[in-house]
């Protein structure tokens, strides 16, 4: 007769062994064994030995089971369930701890680490006062004098993807200050505003963010005074563009954020010189910002000879650098004396070499703003020859930068105009 209590106990035990029964004819001289199953538990310590023997009487009954074996089976099943439960909760607890630690790391340092680990260079080129009509004039001129095919494309034509809208909030005609602030701060503001909003409060610039949040090197290159509206809108905060004496103070780091520009090439030395030097100064006071810049660590230069002597790797160790190659604006390209002033393309190439060398072994890249400043000024004075030549000079700079980008695929180039004159 079946032992119901025995079968109930065996079913609850969930043994790691399979009981095998055979007919009396097949098992006349054999015994029932428990076959070993491959389990990762204490049962693995048990050899494939007989737990107990019993004569086989019927296929559906097992009589006379050893009480010790039954106790062992029940105990083993209980231990296995306890072990599985313990492993489950240890796993859950480990996952929770790892998740919490991971979230804390991401919050305090992980995001900034991921941002730093992806090195990028950003080059923003601005053709001041330049639009489709000026591009068409320059394209047709170059195509005609060089007998080029009618479908000739300029360096800008080859990378054209769209247009931008810099619209001033105070006028239908946008000036360089409002236009540059639209680029530097991503806001629309009034004409004359230098990196300040309509309420005249300062707005953070992309150059400041690159320097202070991403740890990137930064640079400004222009053919105007370096304190003029466009470069000023990336490196200072004043309520009117004519406040160039104050802009110069910002640019050498004399404000709350400290120095944020590592390299400056352009004109405008007069705003860094004291008014006691009447022939070379345009300041309203006697502050000598040129000397102050030197005292704060700037390497300064103002001649073509000094410019040519700059070696990229050596200069990279001398940052920050302030180069002002004219008392006011640099000459129009059509009038430029190559022996005394570098071209926009030459300044761009030099700046790229220095910044590239400075960031070679660093996780952060650089941000460089390059402006073809005098395209606009020639248009204001109705000087088409000067306007044309400065456009071509800008094309030359585009060619230099595009070559750099081709050799450095981690670099982004953006060329855009702030307004059309």
For the annotated catalytic residues, the residue numbers are 176
C-alpha 192/C-alpha 284 separation (Å) is 20
What are the tokens at 369? 């703003």
Indicate the burial class of 393 (C-beta count within 10 angstroms; 0-12, 13-18, 19 or more).
buried
C-alpha 185/C-alpha 197 separation (Å) is 9
What stretches of 159-199 show up as alpha helix (H) in DSSP? 176-185
What are the tokens at 143? 């195509």
Element (H, E) at 84: helix 67-105
Cα–Cα–Cα angle for 17, 86, 91, nearest 5°? Answer: 115
C-alpha 343/C-alpha 223 separation (Å) is 8
Burial 271-304 (b: 16+ CB within 10 A, else e): bbbbeeeeeebbbeeebbbbebbeeeebbbbbeb
Indicate the burial class of 229 (C-beta count within 10 angstroms; 0-12, 13-18, 19 or more).
buried
What three-state secondary structure class fits 180?
Answer: helix
Cα–Cα–Cα angle for 242, 413, 332, nearest 5°? Answer: 45
C-alpha 196/C-alpha 192 separation (Å) is 10
Name residues whose C-beta falls within 8 Å of residue 333's C-beta, 6 or more positions apart in sequence.
343, 344, 374, 386, 389, 390, 392, 393
């Amino acid at each position: 007769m079946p032992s119901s209590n025995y079968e109930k106990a065996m079913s609850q035990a969930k043994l790691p062994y399979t009981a095998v029964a055979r007919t009396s004819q097949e098992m006349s001289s054999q015994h029932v064994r428990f076959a070993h199953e491959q389990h990762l538990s204490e049962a693995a310590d048990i050899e494939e030995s007989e737990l107990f023997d019993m004569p086989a009487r019927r296929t559906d009954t097992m009589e006379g089971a050893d009480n010790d074996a039954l106790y062992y089976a029940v105990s083993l099943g209980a231990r296995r369930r306890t072990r599985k439960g313990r492993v489950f909760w240890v796993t859950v607890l480990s996952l929770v701890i790892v998740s919490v630690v991971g979230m804390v790391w991401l919050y305090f340092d992980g995001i900034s680490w991921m941002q730093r680990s992806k090195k990028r260079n950003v080059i923003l080129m601005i053709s001041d006062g330049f639009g489709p009509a000026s591009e068409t004039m320059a394209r047709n001129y170059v195509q005609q004098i060089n007998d080029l095919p009618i479908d000739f494309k300029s360096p800008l034509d080859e990378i054209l993807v769209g247009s931008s809208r810099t619209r001033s909030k105070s006028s239908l005609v946008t000036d360089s200050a409002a236009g540059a602030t639209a680029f530097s701060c991503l806001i629309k503001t009034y004409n004359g505003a230098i990196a300040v909003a309509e309420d005249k409060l300062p707005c953070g610039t992309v150059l400041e963010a690159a320097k202070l949040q991403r740890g990137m090197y930064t640079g400004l290159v222009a053919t105007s005074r370096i304190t003029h509206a466009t470069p000023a809108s990336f490196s200072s905060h004043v309520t009117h563009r004519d406040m160039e004496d104050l802009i110069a103070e910002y640019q050498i780091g004399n404000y709350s954020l400290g120095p944020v520009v590592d390299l400056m090439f352009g004109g405008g030395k007069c705003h860094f010189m004291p008014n006691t030097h009447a022939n070379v100064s345009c300041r309203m006071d006697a502050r000598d910002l040129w000397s102050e810049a030197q005292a704060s660590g700037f390497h300064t230069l103002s001649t073509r000879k000094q410019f040519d002597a700059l070696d990229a790797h050596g200069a990279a160790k001398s940052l920050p650098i302030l180069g002002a190659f004219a008392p006011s604006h640099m000459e129009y390209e059509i009038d430029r004396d190559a022996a005394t002033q570098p071209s926009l393309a030459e300044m761009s190439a030099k700046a790229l070499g220095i910044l590239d060398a400075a960031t070679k072994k660093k996780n952060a890249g650089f941000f460089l703003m390059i402006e073809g400043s005098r395209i606009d000024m020639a248009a204001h004075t109705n000087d088409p020859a000067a306007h044309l030549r400065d456009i071509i000079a800008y094309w030359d700079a585009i060619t230099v930068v595009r070559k750099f980008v081709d050799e450095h695929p981690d670099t982004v180039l953006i060329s855009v105009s702030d307004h059309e004159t």
